[in-house]
Chains A and B, each alone.
Chain A
């Protein structure tokens, strides 16, 4: 069975600092991996996705993530945090055999201090 673990339910950074949100996955088949962002009182928006192409994936709003099979990781980074990045971030995994179903991690709340 597939699963996702996000390390750290809450991360706080200063504006302009590096953002690093950790995600490790478990999958018996090559996975598709996703990062979604949820702003307060809103639905989920896709930040970026890994679908077995390039291992370094660039997404919207300056975020990127690197797929590392040896470490079963898909950590999300952004070089310089902005106040508007404050939100809940979810890592998710899927595979073709699941028919599109997503398995989500527990989420990481990102706070950005001025």
Chain B
């Protein structure tokens, strides 16, 4: 298994500001992802964090709003930029260890609960 930690666990921010969320995995992983869980809703994939290159964003999410870095095989950051109350959500990091061509379990961090006032 993989143990994933996230910082901060929660935060309350003012609109117009930015917050960077850190995701640390206890061992090297092949893929890392960022998901958003809006209040009372399911998880939606924001992007795949690619090591050493630009993240791959899903439809409806853009780099200017959610810049992502992944400088190595165990760490990634997600920044929520120019926040508005609509960005209030839980942001979850996940990771897969293993190679493509077969099933590899996806592990999730505990999430970062963000409230924007």
Are these two chains actual partners, yes or no?
yes
Query: Interface of A with B (CB < 8 Å)?
Result: 32, 36, 41-46, 49, 51, 90, 96, 99-107
In the complex, the chain A residue whose C-beta lies closest to that of B101 is: A96
Q: In the bound complex, do residue A106 and residue B45 qualify as a contact, i.e. CB atoms below 8 Å apart?
A: no
Q: In the bound complex, do residue A100 and residue B33 qualify as a contact, i.e. CB atoms below 8 Å apart?
A: yes
Give B112 Cβ to nearest chain A Cβ, in Å: 10
Query: Interface of B with A (CB < 8 Å)?
Result: 4, 31, 33, 41-45, 48, 92, 94, 96, 100-111, 113
Q: In the bound complex, do residue B105 and residue A106 qualify as a contact, i.e. CB atoms below 8 Å apart?
A: no
Contacts of A106 in B (CB 8 A): 41-42
B103: which of A45, A49, A99 is its contact (CB, 8 Å)?
A: A49
- Bound-state Cα–Cα, A105 to B92, Å: 16
B110: which of A43, A46, A100, A105 is its contact (CB, 8 Å)?
A: A43
Q: Give the interface SS of chain B, mostly helix, strand, loop or mixed.
A: strand
The 24 sampled A-B contact pairs (Cβ below 8 Å) are: A32-B103, A36-B108, A41-B113, A42-B110, A43-B111, A44-B94, A45-B108, A49-B103, A90-B42, A96-B101, A99-B100, A100-B96, A100-B100, A100-B104, A101-B33, A101-B48, A102-B33, A102-B43, A102-B45, A102-B94, A104-B43, A104-B44, A106-B41, A106-B42
Q: In the bound complex, do residue B33 and residue A44 qualify as a contact, i.e. CB atoms below 8 Å apart?
A: no
Give B10 Cβ to nearest chain A Cβ, in Å: 9
B108: which of A43, A101, A107 is its contact (CB, 8 Å)?
A: A43
- Bound-state Cα–Cα, A105 to B4, Å: 23
Contacts of A103 in B (CB 8 A): 45
A104: which of B31, B42, B105 is its contact (CB, 8 Å)?
A: B42
B109: which of A36, A41, A43, A107 is its contact (CB, 8 Å)?
A: A43
Q: In the bound complex, do residue B43 and residue A90 qualify as a contact, i.e. CB atoms below 8 Å apart?
A: yes
- Bound-state Cα–Cα, A45 to B42, Å: 14
Contacts of A32 in B (CB 8 A): 103
Give B47 Cβ to nearest chain A Cβ, in Å: 10
- Bound-state Cα–Cα, A1 to B104, Å: 21
Known: A99-B48, A100-B33, A102-B45. A44 touches B108 (CB 8 A): yes
Contacts of A51 in B (CB 8 A): 103
Give B41 Cβ to nearest chain A Cβ, in Å: 7
